[in-house]
Structure 1
Amino acid sequence: MRTLTTLTGNSQKLDGGAMFGNAPKALWQRWMPADELNRIDLGCRALLVQEDERNILIETGIGAFFSPELKQRFGVQEDRHVLLDSLAAAGLSDADIDIVVLTHLHFDHAGGLLAAWQADQPPRLLFPNAQFITGRRQWQRACNPHARDKASYIPELLDLLENSGRLHLIDENEQCELLGPDWRLHWSDGHTPGQLLPEVAMPGGPVVFPGDLIPGAPWVHLPITMGYDRFPEGLIEEKEALLADLYPRGGRLVFTHDPAIAIGQVNRDDKGRYSLKNTQSSVRNLAE
């Protein structure tokens, strides 16, 4: 028996132009209205997979590790660690998580691994009983970042993960034995090298957590990319390949950054344009 539950993490407000790359504001503001500072609302959603008496968490969001100054700079809205509240609402704590799968190590996807900021206290790693999974090439990128995304990584977190003795680095050509044969891993380099996109087998069709390859419903449209993507043209090709694979299988996507849509089924019209159907704002114990 396997069940899926989407979990809300800390939310952000980020510049809409940066989030929609070369798409004009006249287009993207139809999907996500901007405030007076040109910022749009973004979520940091995680996915809880419960199976075989184990709890698997896909991503942890941005969390609350930032100091007040950096919290304001990056538009983090809440002071508390919202993901921990969401876990508690599901009857769990961070100590109950057996595996954490990280699509990549940017702070808005992995920062939730850290406890909330406290003055004069060093960063502290949560999830004391979890094994941590991420891509080997993404780990290498994080440890030796390019100037373009150096500020997106948390050096202290990398040290804590490595020193935990519970970090598992996965290569593209291998099956992740820790997750098991019912899990499939897709890979993407367009946003950041070695981004790992887990696919969970479900009776009603597979569910994929596409990370920043497709961060929300508007980005299902093939030409839409983010200004943060390192290789937008390659990302579009990766996105098209993933959607083409999922559509005939009734595949669904869980969005990490969409504030309103948690999950949707991949749809395609007679002109080959991709969209979503059967969208939901949240999922609780989806088993089918």
Structure 2
Amino acid sequence: METMKVGELTLTWLNGGATNLDGGAMFGVVPKPLWSRKYSVNEKNQIELRNDPIFFQLDGKNILIESGLGNNRLSDKQKRNYGVAEESQVEYSLKELGLTPEDIDIVIMTHMHFDHALGLTKVVDGKLASAFPNAIIYTSETEWKEMREPNIRSKNTYWKENWEAITEQVQTFKEELEVVPGVKMIHSGGHSDGHSIIIIESGEETLIHMADLMPTHAHQNVLWVLAFDDYPMDSIAMKQQYLPEGMKKGAWFIFYHDAMYRAVKWNESGELIDCIKREKIIV
């Protein structure tokens, strides 16, 4: 597990599993000769995407950002379609930190697409139960509404199996929420109507989690948005706002999906000046 210390915070990336999705879908209208220079692609035109929750402790709370892929939640067909290379090891990662899922106080969900929300539940005696039974789960009001009432497009990623067991734990907000002092959720839209980004302030340091508005470092270009985005112009607008602001103040940009970097820092010209690389484990 990679860790980084920023200000008074220590962030740890847990093992939440991996998918391999179509590179064209992940980079939208950007031609492959361009994006493939920045991110590795396999012979099936798939790119590796991690689904690794970010753990930290603040204000006396054990906090997760996102939840991972979970275990035994996908059929063999779904695993093939989504290129699932490994399922979640979050429980084992927490054990290495001396914790259990019951110790998690807060789970911050930028959105509730299946690759972020599967890890919120687990199979117990043949039924789905909350994976983090003592946690408050935060997401935007808009996201939670669509999660339960998906439209013809979004029903492919908002599954009732991912919300029925956690209904009593979910707390929502409209535009902005300070989860704990120094940790702010901002309703952004873009990738989904209810998508949020996360800004963390610790001492003089800032961390920005753009989530699926910028799932990897290779999506730094504000125009490089996903074919999966429901509102791509909103994605672009948010990137136009938060990327220059973050670069100017020397913020860290942290990732849930990036298979190469856990976090990066760019200067105002967009040049990489610092990073935390993901350590790839060869089995």
For the Cα contact (< 8 Å) 2:248–2:268, is it kept in 1?
Answer: no
Q: Give per-residue Cα distances to partners, 1:202-248, cap 9 Å, x unaligned.
A: 22521122110110101111121111011222211111101122223
Q: Distance in 1 between matches of 2:138 and 2:276?
A: 27
Partner of 1:90: 97
Q: Which residue of 6, 9, 13 maps to 1:6? A: 13
Partner of 1:28: 35
Shift of 1:20: 0.7
Shift of 1:6: 2.1
RMSD of aligned alpha carbons? 2.0
For the Cα contact (< 8 Å) 1:125–1:157, is it kept in 2?
Answer: no
SS of the residue aligned with 1:268? coil
Q: Distance in 2 between matches of 1:217 and 1:2?
A: 22
1:41 equivalent to 2:48? Answer yes
Partner of 1:195: 195
SS of the residue aligned with 2:112? coil
Q: Distance in 1 between matches of 2:49 and 2:177?
A: 32
Q: Distance in 2 between matches of 1:143 and 1:5?
A: 31
Partner of 2:163: 158
Partner of 1:169: 172
Q: Distance in 2 between matches of 1:215 and 1:61?
A: 14
Q: Give per-residue Cα distances to partners, 1:145-195, cap 9 Å, x unaligned.
A: 222221111212221121xx22101110x534xx23322222211110121
1:280 equivalent to 2:276? Answer yes
Q: Distance in 2 between matches of 1:210 and 1:258?
A: 12
Q: Distance in 2 between matches of 1:4 and 1:33?
A: 26
Looking at secondary structure, tell me which structure has more strand per residue. Answer: 2
Q: Give per-residue Cα distances to partners, 1:257-287, cap 9 Å, x unaligned.
A: 1101000124221xxxx3543111259xxxx
Structure 1 residues 105 and 275, CA, compared in 2 at 3 Å: closer, same or farther? farther
Q: Distance in 1 between matches of 2:273 and 2:89?
A: 28
Partner of 1:224: 224
Q: Give per-residue Cα distances to partners, 1:40-81, cap 9 Å, x unaligned.
A: 1111121112123320101012222212222222111125x3
Q: How does 1:210-221 map to 2 (within 5 A)?
A: 210-221=210-221
TM value normalised by structure 1: 0.87
TM value normalised by structure 2: 0.89
Structure 1 residues 39 and 143, CA, compared in 2 at 3 Å: closer, same or farther? same
Which segment is superposed worse, 7-16 or 61-70? 61-70
Higher relative contact order (CA 8 A, sep 6+): 1
For the Cα contact (< 8 Å) 1:220–1:275, is it kept in 2?
Answer: no
1:60 equivalent to 2:67? Answer yes
Which residue identity is paired with 1:106? H
Which residue identity is paired with 1:18? A
Displacement over 3 Å in runs of 4+: none
Shift of 1:108: 0.6
SS of the residue aligned with 1:161? helix
Shift of 1:102: 0.4
Which segment is superposed worse, 61-70 or 184-193? 61-70
SS of the residue aligned with 1:103? coil
Give the length in aligned residue pairs.
Answer: 271
Partner of 2:3: none
1:19 equivalent to 2:26? Answer yes
Partner of 2:137: 132
Which residue identity is paired with 1:131? I
Structure 1 residues 82 and 153, CA, compared in 2 at 3 Å: closer, same or farther? same
Gaps of 5+ in 2: 1-7
Partner of 1:286: none
SS of the residue aligned with 1:41? strand
SS of the residue aligned with 2:77? helix
Gaps of 5+ in 1: 284-288
